[in-house]
Amino acid sequence: MGLVSHFRQLSFLAYLVVGGLTAAIYFGLITLCVKVASIDYRVSISIAYVVAVSFHFFANRNLTFRAVGSNVLHQGFRYVIVLVVNYLVILLAAYCLVDLLGMTSYLAAILSMLIPTCIGYFIFKFWVFS
């Protein structure tokens, strides 16, 4: 395996690990908000999203893509654009899955994250943290 290929695989592996930790934070907070604090699922998803994506930005910036030498404000601006689009996709998907199809808020939260997760690595690597 060539050195470049090795680092590409490590970058993708780091992205998956950061994503897994982000998901744990996200779902942990949703559970805490819905089950313990009895907060509406839409508000719970919103709270969890803000906390989880803050972790996601800094972990990916510092660990996955090692883009610490780049302008954090420029990266942050692009990241926020991606987040707003992702947030709207997630809320729309969650609404459809919970209110229209009758799924639980937990299953809807998992399924609604699939689209942003699948294309996220490439958007972050080649646009946000490039």
How far apart CA 21 and CA 104 sit, in angstroms, is 22
- pLDDT tens-place string over residues 78-90: 999 998 888 888 8
Count structural domains, the chain.
1
- pLDDT tens-place string over residues 100-114: 999 999 899 888 888
Token digits for 44?
């719970």
CB 19 within 8 A of CB 60: no
pTM score of the predicted model? 0.70
Instruction: Read off the pLDDT band of 7 (50, 70, 90).
Output: low
Phi and psi angles of residue 85, each rounded to the nearest 5 degrees, phi first: -65, -45
Q: State which residues form the domain around 21.
A: 3-128
Place of tokens 């992205």: 15
